[in-house]
A and B are shown apart, each in its own frame.
Chain A
Amino acid sequence: MQTRFIGKPMPRKEGREKVTGRARYIDDITMPGMLFGATVRSPVPRGRIKEIRFDPQIPWDEFTIVTAQDVPGSNYVALIVNDQPYLADRLVNHAEEPVLLLAHTDKYLLEEARRAVRLEIEPLPPVFTLDESDEKKEIIWGEDNVFKSFLVEKGNVDDVWAGADFIVEGEYRTGAQEQLYIETNGVIAVANPEEGVTVWGSMQCPYYVHKALIKLFNLPEDKIRVVQTETGGGFGGKEEYPSMIAGHAALLAWKSGKPVKIIYDRAEDMAATTKRHPSRTRHRTAVTRDGRLLGMEIDFVVDGGAYATLSAVVLSRGTIHAAGPYNCPNVRIRSRAVATNVPPHGAFRGFGAPQSIFALERHMNKVARAVGLSPEEFRRRNFIREGETTATSQVIREAVDMQRLVERAFELSDYRDKQERFARENESARVKRGVGFASFMHGAGFTGSGEKYLQSIVGAEATPEGRVRILAANTEIGQGTNTIFAQIAAEALGLDFEQIEVAQPDTANVPNSGPTVASRTTMIVGKLVESAALSLRQTLQNSKLLADSYSPEDFSRACRDYLAKYGQLKSFSQYKQPAEIDWDDEKYRGDAYGAFAWAVYVAEVSVDTLTFEARVEDFVAVQEVGRVINPTMAAGQIEGGVAQGIGYTLFENVVWRGGRMINNQMTNYIIPTTADIPPIRVHFEEMPYEHGPGGAKGIGELPMDGAAPAILNAIENATGLELNQIPLMPEQLMEAFRGEHA
Chain B
Amino acid sequence: MPEATEKERSGKVVVRCTVNGRDAELSGFPMARLLDVLREELKLTGTKEGCGEGECGACSVFINGKIVNSCLVPLMQVEGARVVTIEGIASDEQLNAIQEAFIETGGAQCGICTPGMVMAAVNLLDRNSEPTESDIRAGLAGNLCRCTGYMKIFEAVVRACQHSGVKR
> A14 to B49, alpha carbons, bound, how many Å?
20
Contacting residue for A11 out of B103, B144, B151, CB 8 A: B103
Chain A residues with CB under 8 A of B106 = 9, 12, 632-633, 635-636
| Contact call B148/A674, Cβ cutoff below 8 A | no
| Contact call A12/B51, Cβ cutoff below 8 A | no
Smallest CB separation, B61 vs chain A (Å) = 11
Which residues of A are interface residues toward B (Cβ below 8 A)?
Answer: 9, 11-12, 14-25, 27-28, 180-183, 230-235, 265-266, 477-480, 632-633, 635-636, 639-644, 665-667, 671, 673-675, 677, 679-680
| Contact call B111/A23, Cβ cutoff below 8 A | yes
> A679 to B1, alpha carbons, bound, how many Å?
61
Chain B residues with CB under 8 A of A635 = 106, 151-152
| Contact call B149/A16, Cβ cutoff below 8 A | no
* Chain B residue with the shortest CB-CB distance to A633: B106
Q: In this assembly, does B45 line the interface, its C-beta being within 8 Å of a C-beta of chain A?
A: yes
> A346 to B56, alpha carbons, bound, how many Å?
24
> A15 to B141, alpha carbons, bound, how many Å?
23
Report B97-114 CB contacts with A as 1/0, cut-off 8 Å: 001001111111111111
Smallest CB separation, B34 vs chain A (Å) = 16
Smallest CB separation, B89 vs chain A (Å) = 8
Chain B residues with CB under 8 A of A21 = 44-47, 85-87, 114-115
| Contact call A677/B150, Cβ cutoff below 8 A | yes
Contacting residue for B149 out of A23, A180, A266, A640, CB 8 A: A640
Interface of B is mostly: loop
Which residues of B are interface residues toward A (Cβ below 8 A)?
Answer: 39, 44-53, 55-56, 58, 85-87, 89-90, 95, 99, 102-115, 118, 136-138, 140-141, 143-154
| Contact call A183/B48, Cβ cutoff below 8 A | yes
Contacting residue for B150 out of A15, A27, A479, A643, CB 8 A: A643
| Contact call B112/A182, Cβ cutoff below 8 A | yes
| Contact call B58/A12, Cβ cutoff below 8 A | no
* Chain A residue with the shortest CB-CB distance to B118: A19
| Contact call B55/A644, Cβ cutoff below 8 A | no
Assess A266 versus B53: contact at CB under 8 Å? Given A12-B108, A182-B58, A643-B150: yes
Contacting residue for B146 out of A11, A16, A235, A266, CB 8 A: A235
Chain A residues with CB under 8 A of B152 = 632, 635-636, 639
| Contact call B48/A182, Cβ cutoff below 8 A | yes
Assess A15 versus B108: contact at CB under 8 Å? Given A180-B146, A673-B141: yes
29 A-B residue pairs with CB within 8 Å: A15-B108, A19-B99, A19-B102, A19-B107, A19-B111, A20-B95, A22-B46, A25-B48, A180-B146, A181-B112, A182-B144, A232-B110, A232-B112, A232-B113, A266-B51, A477-B110, A478-B110, A479-B109, A632-B152, A635-B151, A639-B148, A642-B149, A666-B50, A666-B53, A666-B144, A671-B144, A673-B141, A674-B153, A675-B141
Point out which of A182, A232, A641, A673 has the most chain B C-beta atoms below 10 A from its C-beta: A182
| Contact call A636/B148, Cβ cutoff below 8 A | yes
Assess A14 versus B111: contact at CB under 8 Å? Given A632-B106, A674-B150, A677-B150: yes
* Chain B residue with the shortest CB-CB distance to A632: B106
Assess A478 versus B147: contact at CB under 8 Å? Given A16-B103, A21-B86, A24-B45: yes
Chain A residues with CB under 8 A of B141 = 673-675
Chain A residues with CB under 8 A of B87 = 20-21
Smallest CB separation, A702 vs chain B (Å) = 14
Chain B residues with CB under 8 A of A677 = 149-151
> A241 to B45, alpha carbons, bound, how many Å?
25
> A479 to B110, alpha carbons, bound, how many Å?
7
| Contact call A20/B99, Cβ cutoff below 8 A | yes
> A18 to B111, alpha carbons, bound, how many Å?
5
Smallest CB separation, A630 vs chain B (Å) = 9
| Contact call B112/A233, Cβ cutoff below 8 A | yes
Assess A671 versus B146: contact at CB under 8 Å? Given A21-B45, A233-B112, A636-B152: yes
> A675 to B137, alpha carbons, bound, how many Å?
5
Chain B residues with CB under 8 A of A478 = 109-111, 147
| Contact call A20/B46, Cβ cutoff below 8 A | yes
* Chain A residue with the shortest CB-CB distance to B119: A21
Chain B residues with CB under 8 A of A641 = 149
> A243 to B50, alpha carbons, bound, how many Å?
22
> A262 to B7, alpha carbons, bound, how many Å?
28
> A572 to B2, alpha carbons, bound, how many Å?
61
Assess A667 versus B112: contact at CB under 8 Å? Given A15-B102, A639-B148: no
> A25 to B118, alpha carbons, bound, how many Å?
18
Contacting residue for B110 out of A11, A183, A644, CB 8 A: A183
> A660 to B94, alpha carbons, bound, how many Å?
48
> A675 to B136, alpha carbons, bound, how many Å?
9
* Chain B residue with the shortest CB-CB distance to A30: B40
* Chain B residue with the shortest CB-CB distance to A642: B149
Chain B residues with CB under 8 A of A667 = 53, 55
> A45 to B90, alpha carbons, bound, how many Å?
50
> A330 to B58, alpha carbons, bound, how many Å?
52
Further 7 A-B residue pairs, CB within 8 A, beyond A19-B114, A640-B109, A643-B148: A19-B95, A27-B45, A28-B39, A182-B144, A183-B48, A632-B152, A667-B53
| Contact call A636/B109, Cβ cutoff below 8 A | yes
> A232 to B85, alpha carbons, bound, how many Å?
19
| Contact call A640/B103, Cβ cutoff below 8 A | no
> A642 to B147, alpha carbons, bound, how many Å?
10
> A19 to B136, alpha carbons, bound, how many Å?
19
Point out which of A23, A181, A183, A674 has the most chain B C-beta atoms below 10 A from its C-beta: A674
| Contact call A28/B45, Cβ cutoff below 8 A | yes
| Contact call A674/B108, Cβ cutoff below 8 A | no
| Contact call A183/B112, Cβ cutoff below 8 A | yes
* Chain B residue with the shortest CB-CB distance to A270: B51
Chain A residues with CB under 8 A of B107 = 19
Chain A residues with CB under 8 A of B114 = 18-19, 21
Smallest CB separation, B31 vs chain A (Å) = 11
Chain B residues with CB under 8 A of A181 = 110, 112, 146
Assess A19 versus B103: contact at CB under 8 Å? Given A232-B112, A266-B53, A671-B144: yes
| Contact call A19/B151, Cβ cutoff below 8 A | no
Contacting residue for B52 out of A11, A232, A266, CB 8 A: A266
Point out which of A12, A18, A643 has the most chain B C-beta atoms below 10 A from its C-beta: A18
Chain B residues with CB under 8 A of A25 = 45, 48, 112
> A24 to B46, alpha carbons, bound, how many Å?
8
> A4 to B111, alpha carbons, bound, how many Å?
27
| Contact call A665/B103, Cβ cutoff below 8 A | no
Chain A residues with CB under 8 A of B56 = 182, 666
> A428 to B17, alpha carbons, bound, how many Å?
60
Smallest CB separation, A51 vs chain B (Å) = 32
